[in-house]
Amino acid sequence: METKLYQNRTFDTIDYSDQSLSNTEFVNCQFINCNFSKSDLSYNDFLDSTFKNCNLSLAVLKNTGLKNIKFTGCKLMGLDFSASNSFLFSMNFEDCLLDYSTFIYKKLKKTYFTDCSLKDVDFSNTDLSLAIFKNCDLSNATFLECNLEKTDFRTSRNYAFDPSENKVKKTKVSHTALAGLLEKFDLEIE
């Protein structure tokens, strides 16, 4: 099947919900107010593109290429990013709802998460080195066997991870979050 190519296009207020898009490459495209909820985006490539105020909740990302993508004001609940293509995988998030999503085994080095809700997100075995979590809610997020070296959590809240089960050299945390780092010891901190 031949791959369709869209370059330098803007897609505004289009409803793709519950639809299947395949064998399509989007290069330098903008998606504004589009609904991709429960869409099957498998085997598509998105490169140098932006999503603004879009809903991608529960979309299927099997072998989907996400290269240099910016999500702003998007609803991305329950996405399994771990199923997407790992080649050149890179994205940044601003003012997004990512609750219940999965990034297992992904390389998110230098990724920015700004003003995002990341409740119950699974970051197990993820490389988050040099990532920045700015003003994010990380309630019940899982950090297990992650590379958190030089990751900045200072302005975020509700994060907890075991320093003995993650690489944490030069990880930046606020002093108010220290209790979350010592959680496994069941200490009474006053």
From residue 82, alpha-carbon distances to 63, 108, 131, 189 in Å are: 9, 11, 17, 36
- Return the structure tokens found at 171: 């990880």
Residue 186: what pLDDT? Answer: 65
What pTM was estimated for this model as a whole? 0.93
From residue 24, alpha-carbon distances to 20, 27, 102, 155, 185 in Å are: 11, 10, 24, 38, 50
Q: Cα separation of 74 and 80, whole Å?
A: 15
Q: Cα separation of 80 and 5, whole Å?
A: 25
- Return the structure tokens found at 145: 């066997």
> What pLDDT, in 10s, does the model give residues 34-53?
999 999 999 999 999 999 99
- H runs (alpha helix) in the chain: 178-181
Q: What is the DSSP string of 82-128?
A: GGS--TT--EEEES-B-TT-B-TT-B-TT-EEES-B-TT-B-TT-B-
Average pLDDT on 115-135 reads: 98
> What pLDDT, in 10s, does the model give residues 128-144?
999 999 999 999 999 99
